[in-house]
Structure 1
Amino acid sequence: MTRILIIEDDRQLCEALASTIRQYGYDPLFTDGFDSLDKQVETLKPDLILLDIGIPSFDGFYWCLKIRKATLCPIIIISARDASSDQVLALENGADDYVCKPFEKEVLIAKIRSHLRRCGDYSGETSGSFSEKNGLKVDLSRMELSFKGETSPMAKTTVSHKEAIIIKALIDIYPGAVPREMILAKVWDSKNFVDENTLNVNIARIRKKLEEVGLSDALETVRGYGYRLIIHS
């Protein structure tokens, strides 16, 4: 059964989330307090995490960054804080999505299903599940991005599920541009429940990952259309 970890200090909401999760056939998990959450995630091995921002001790932003280093599973932030700056910070710290309280349970479940489906599409893939062009390679089975230029050594970095899917789409259509709508369809199924910040932050994270492997200014915005890779090997 799919295991969903709930990190929420509001007991009433925590129980309501657990009830909803069970209703839709998922197995809710809970942490033992709010210390060393990254270590608890490593032990529990959830398939998806629901993380509140306003938890005791360090806040959810801090723990999102720590947890992302421990797992590649989807992290959905649930918070009453609806400022765009909070949503951007959460996404920059490794979250995959952001849901503002109060929320309709159907919307949350739709997001959970979408993220789990995307993870399932690329989990357990063979070594053939990759795309490569001009030395840039994304491996969906390892969630790894690498680049080997003609005169530069191999450089590697890890990527999230969403980043890997977007990069693969960019490589597959290279040197063409990928329409924004195609990215939304591949990663989020559609534009439903996806705001501009979510896509923009993911694109910004991909630019940073490309820089980590030695490719600066490699992702170009095609105004009014989408995005295009520029690979100088």
Structure 2
Amino acid sequence: MFKMLIVEDDRTLFNEIKTRLSQWSYDVYGVQNFDNVVDEFIEINPDLVIIDIQLPKYDGFHWCRMIRSHSKVPIIFLSSRDHPLDMVMAMQLGADDFIQKPFHFDVLIAKIQALLRRVYNYNAEKIHIKTWQGAKIDLEKNVVTNEQGTVELTKNEMLIFHLLIDKKNKIVSRTELIESLWDDERFVSDNTLTVNVNRLRKKLDELGLGQYIETKVGQGYIAKEEERK
């Protein structure tokens, strides 16, 4: 689950951004002390930062510069100011994107998702093997193996399974699963998702693992993992 730090002193806007991003299962944090943004950044260690330009005491440019001295985390600027030099300054200080207020939340979310894929995808490409409930999951070969045998998953089944085990013991909404498959340039309907999850569970039954993929009615699915002794 990605963590977002929102450096925004407008509480109404912050709360709306937090609500929208939380719907996509992002963990969202706000700044409590605008005199010490960097200390909070270091404590939270977010995967992405969204900064307003006009802030109490020091502006967003200052905090972008300070954050860049500690981290290469992706940074998106938000601003109601429309001067081209603001965008130039933001990019020169190391920002990854600049969004002018007022903005459409779908645009903000699309930019966040694109930035996260671009920045963090290389990590996913390097990690081909995951483990869950004592089973080994090969993300390149689309196979799951444990002491009871091996099953092969389709690409859609593996994409769903991968997302579920990445958020093990947490509910993943049907909307999030469908949107993730759409991001992979596949059209997936609600019914198609149900079919794929049922097939995934049936294949995992062959390894004695099907019962750990639970349906949460009206919410989504959860990949449970019990502590192994």
Q: What TM-score does the superposition give when structure 2 sets the normalisation length?
A: 0.53
Aligned equivalents of 2:123, 2:31: Cα separation in 1: 25
Contact 1:74–1:95 under 8 Å retained in 2:
yes
How far 1:15 moved relative to its partner? 0.4
Q: Secondary structure at the match of 2:28?
A: strand
How far 1:122 moved relative to its partner? 2.5
Gaps of 5+ in 2: 127-229
Structure 1 residue 16 and structure 2 residue 9: aligned? Answer: no
Residues 89 and 49 (structure 1), Cα distance of their counterparts in 2 relative to 1, 3 Å cut: same
Contact 1:4–1:46 under 8 Å retained in 2:
yes
- Code of the aligned partner of 1:17: I
Q: Secondary structure at the match of 2:58?
A: coil
How far 1:39 moved relative to its partner? 2.2
Q: How does 1:30-49 map to 2 (within 5 A)?
A: 30-49=30-49
CA RMSD of aligned residues (A): 1.4
The match for 1:109 is 109
- Code of the aligned partner of 2:51: L
Output one character per residue of 1:48-97: Cα deviation in whole Å (capped at 9) or x when no partner: 01100111001001111111111111000011012110000011111111
The match for 2:185 is none
Aligned equivalents of 1:28, 1:4: Cα separation in 2: 5
Higher mean C-alpha deviation, range 26-35 or range 56-65: 26-35
Q: How many percent identity over aligned positions?
A: 42
4+ residue segments displaced more than 6 Å: none
Aligned equivalents of 1:8, 1:71: Cα separation in 2: 19
Aligned equivalents of 1:83, 1:20: Cα separation in 2: 27
Contact 1:79–1:101 under 8 Å retained in 2:
yes
How far 1:124 moved relative to its partner? 7.2
Aligned equivalents of 2:19, 2:104: Cα separation in 1: 14
Q: Secondary structure at the match of 1:123?
A: helix
Q: Secondary structure at the match of 1:95?
A: coil
Higher mean C-alpha deviation, range 23-32 or range 45-54: 23-32
The match for 2:61 is 61
Aligned equivalents of 1:100, 1:24: Cα separation in 2: 22
Q: How does 1:67-146 map to 2 (within 5 A)?
A: 67-123=67-123
Output one character per residue of 1:126-161: Cα deviation in whole Å (capped at 9) or x when no partner: 6xxxxxxxxxxxxxxxxxxxxxxxxxxxxxxxxxxx
- Code of the aligned partner of 2:110: A
Aligned equivalents of 1:43, 1:124: Cα separation in 2: 25
Q: What TM-score does the superposition give when structure 1 sets the normalisation length?
A: 0.52
- Code of the aligned partner of 2:41: V
Contact 1:41–1:70 under 8 Å retained in 2:
no
Gaps of 5+ in 1: 127-233
Aligned equivalents of 1:20, 1:76: Cα separation in 2: 16
Q: Secondary structure at the match of 1:50?
A: strand
Contact 1:76–1:96 under 8 Å retained in 2:
yes
Residues 9 and 68 (structure 1), Cα distance of their counterparts in 2 relative to 1, 3 Å cut: same
The match for 2:148 is none
- Code of the aligned partner of 2:37: L
- Code of the aligned partner of 2:24: Y
How far 1:38 moved relative to its partner? 1.7
Contact 1:79–1:100 under 8 Å retained in 2:
yes
Q: Secondary structure at the match of 1:51?
A: strand
How far 1:123 moved relative to its partner? 3.5
